[in-house]
Amino acid sequence: MREAIASYGRALGALDSFPADTARNRLELETRIALGVPLTAALGYADQEVHANYTRARQLATELDDPVHNFSALWGLWTNHRARLEMHEARKLAEELNRLAGTVEDDSRMLAAHHAQWTTHLYLGDLARAAEHCDRGIRLYDPERHHKHVLIYGGHDPGVCGVGTSALNLCLLG
C-alpha cells in the first residue's frame, strides 16, 4: 500500500506542471479516487489524509459534473465520517449516495448506497430503516457481479456485510 501511495503521490506532484484546465483536473480526480483505496487501507478509515483526499476528489467531481467519480468520493467521505462516529454527517452523505445512485442507474452503486444506509441507520439506532436497507441491498446483491466491491467500497463483501448486519439488526429488534 505504501508503494501505491508513493506512486500516486508522484503522479499528483507531476500534475503541478500541467496547465490548470479540465483535462488536468480529470487526471487529478482519477488519481485521487485510485489513491483513496490504498490510503484508507494503510492509514485507516478515520485518517485526516484520507478525508482531505476524498474532499478534494469530491470538489473536482462536482466541478467536472462527474457523477460516477462523485459517488466514489462521497463513499470515501462517508466511510471517513462513519469511522470518526460523526454519524449525523455520515447520514447526510449516505442519503446523498442514495440519491446519486438513483441518477446513475447502476445497481452496483445502488447496492453501495444501501450498504452505507444500513450501516449508518444501525449505528444511529434506527433499526427499522437499517432493516429496510439491508433487505433492499441483499436483494440486489449478486456475488458474480458485485465481488469487486471488496476492492472499491469498504474493503469487505457487501453481501456478507448485508446478511451479517441484518442478523445483528434482527437480534436487536427482538
pLDDT lower than 70: segments of the chain: none
pTM above 0.85, yes or no: yes
pLDDT given for residue 36 in this prediction:
94
Other C-beta atoms within 10 Å of 89: how many?
14
pLDDT given for residue 152 in this prediction:
74
pLDDT given for residue 148 in this prediction:
80
Nearest-angstrom CA–CA distance, 110 and 106:
6
pLDDT given for residue 35 in this prediction:
95
pLDDT given for residue 145 in this prediction:
87
Cell numbers standing for residue 53:
483526499
Using CA atoms in the order 36, 152, 116, 71, what is the torsion angle rounded to 10 degrees?
A: 70
First to last CA, the chain: 42
Angle at 65 between CA 64 and CA 71, to 5 degrees: 105
pLDDT given for residue 62 in this prediction:
97
**Cell 453501495 identifies what position?**
112
pLDDT given for residue 11 in this prediction:
96
